[in-house]
Structure formats: C-alpha cells, structure tokens
C-alpha cells in the first residue's frame, strides 16, 4: 500500500488541483463525481482527474490517504478539501472562490457567480 500512497502523494503534490473521481472529467461515472467535475469544468478550473474505477488500489488508497470514506475527493495545492457535499456548499457560499484565489488557481469568477445565481 505504500506504493499507492506515494503515487497519490506525488499526484496531489505535482498538480495544483486534483479530483479523485469515478470516471473522468469528460465522462463521470457517478452523480457525485459528475457534480464536482461539472462545477470545476464550468468554472474553468484546470485540474487533474484520477479515475478510481480504473485501479482498485487507488480506489481504496485514496480513502486511506485522506481518511475520508467516499469519492469524489478534491485536493487543492496538496490539501484535501472535501467531497461532493462540501464542494457544493463551498461553491454556493463563495468559499471555493476564496480557496482558489488564495492558492493562485485560475478560474472564471463570472461562471462561479452564475452557479450561485442559478441556485439562489
């Protein structure tokens, strides 16, 4: 399992934003992954996507790595941010905008505002 942990550590360290998900950003394989990928895609965030369905060791390894039982999992600048519910709440409250801004991650502020307007 240490190889898997090293692989995950390398991925979250070498990419500003990483989404561990079921499927890919262009073809999510579950509703929760689709929601988070949809938010990131709509906001124009560049991110690495890791399909946990393609590798059982990564699928379990990411849960052990974060001590979080579910996927998707979002990482920004190497730090675990949360899963679908947390990312949804952060998007609607503006906290995700702040987190991305504080970490120098480029995103479309107008798109983020549109998401909030549509859910008001």
**What are the pLDDT digits (tens) for 29-57?**
999 999 999 999 999 999 999 999 999 99
**Hey, what domains does the chain have and what are their CATH numbers?**
2-118 (3.40.30.10)
Check if the beta carbon of residue 48 is closer than 8 Å to that of residue 11: yes
Is the pLDDT reported for residue 58 higher than 90? Answer: yes
pLDDT confidence band for 2 (50 / 70 / 90): confident
Beta strands in 29-78 (DSSP E): 48-51, 73-76
Distances (CA, A) of 56 to 42, 52, 109: 29, 7, 36
CA distance 52 to 24: 9
Rounded to the nearest 10 degrees, what angle do helices 95-102 and 84-93 cross at?
Answer: 90
Give the residue carrying structure tokens 């579910």.
Answer: 70
Which pTM value belongs to this model? 0.96
Percent of residues, the chain, with pLDDT higher than 70: 99
């Amino acid at each position: 399992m240490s190889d898997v942990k090293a692989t995950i550590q390398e991925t979250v360290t070498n990419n500003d934003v990483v989404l561990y998900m079921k499927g890919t950003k262009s073809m999510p394989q579950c509703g929760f992954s689709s929601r988070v990928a949809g938010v990131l895609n709509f906001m124009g965030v560049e991110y690495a996507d890791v399909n946990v369905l393609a590798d059982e060791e990564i699928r379990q390894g990411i849960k052990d790595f974060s001590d979080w039982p579910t996927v998707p999992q979002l990482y920004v600048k190497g730090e675990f941010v949360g899963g679908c519910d947390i990312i949804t709440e952060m998007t609607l409250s503006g906290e995700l905008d702040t987190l991305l801004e504080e970490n120098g991650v480029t995103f479309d502020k107008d798109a983020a505002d549109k998401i909030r307007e549509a859910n008001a």
